[in-house]
Structure 1
Amino acid sequence: MTLTMTPTTITLYTRNHCPLCDKAKASLLELKENWEFTLEEIDIETNDDLTERYGLMIPVVHIDGEEVGFGFVDKFDVSNRLQEKSQSNELK
C-alpha cells in the first residue's frame, strides 16, 4: 500500500567512499517500501559548485528541492517529512 499520491522526488547528494552516504541510501531504499517516490542520487564530485556547497555536509537529502537532512540522515525524520508533504498536498 502506498501512503502518498503525489509524485515526489528525493535527491541524495553523495560521493564515492562515503559510509554515511551508503547508510543514508539504505535508509531511503527502506522507505520506498511504504512511500512512493523517485530516488535521484547525485555525486557531488562531478560538479565543482556541488562540491563547494555540500562538501562537508554529505550526505544531503532533499525532498522536491527542499533540504530535509544532512550528515547522519535519520529515516524517521525523512518519513515524517514525507508524511507532512503528503498531508499538505491532500489539502490542496
Structure 2
Amino acid sequence: MDARVVLYSRPGCHLCDDARRVVRAICARTGDGWVEIDIDGDAELTQRYGELIPMVLVDGAQVGYFRIDPARLEAALA
C-alpha cells in the first residue's frame, strides 16, 4: 500500500464524514497518499476498531480517533 494515512470508517458515521474531510484536506496539502477502509466488511477490523471509529493511522501508528485533529495529523506527516 502506497498510502501513508489509513482512515478506518463505516457507512453512516457522521464522525467518519468529518474525519474524511480532514484527512482529504491535510493529505492534499502535504501530498501524502491516503486510503479509507470500511471496517464493516472485515470481522477482525470490526472487533478491533468498532467502538473507536473513525480511526486514523499514519505509517501504522495511531494518530487519532473519533474527532481527528488536523494539526496532529499534519504533525504526524511532517
TM-score by length of 2: 0.91
Q: Which runs of 5+ in 2 are unaligned?
A: none
1:30 matched to 2:7? The reply is: no
Q: Does 1:71 align with 2:71?
A: no
- Between the two proteins, what is the percent identity of the paired residues? 34
1:86 maps to what in 2? none
Once residues 32 and 64 of structure 1 are traced to their aligned partners in structure 2, the CA distance between those partners, rounded to angstroms, is 13
Higher radius of gyration, 1 or 2:
1
Query: What SS does structure 2 have at the residue aligned with 1:16?
Result: coil
Q: How many residues align?
A: 77
1:32 shift after superposition = 2.5
Q: Distance in 2 between matches of 1:33 and 1:51?
A: 28
Q: Counterparts in 2 of 1:11-90, with a 5 A limit?
A: 11-83=6-78
Stretches of structure 1 that go unaligned for 5 or more consecutive residues are 1-6, 84-92
- Output the aligned Cα RMSD: 1.3
Distance 1:60 1:77 in 2: 13
TM-score normalized by the length of structure 1: 0.78
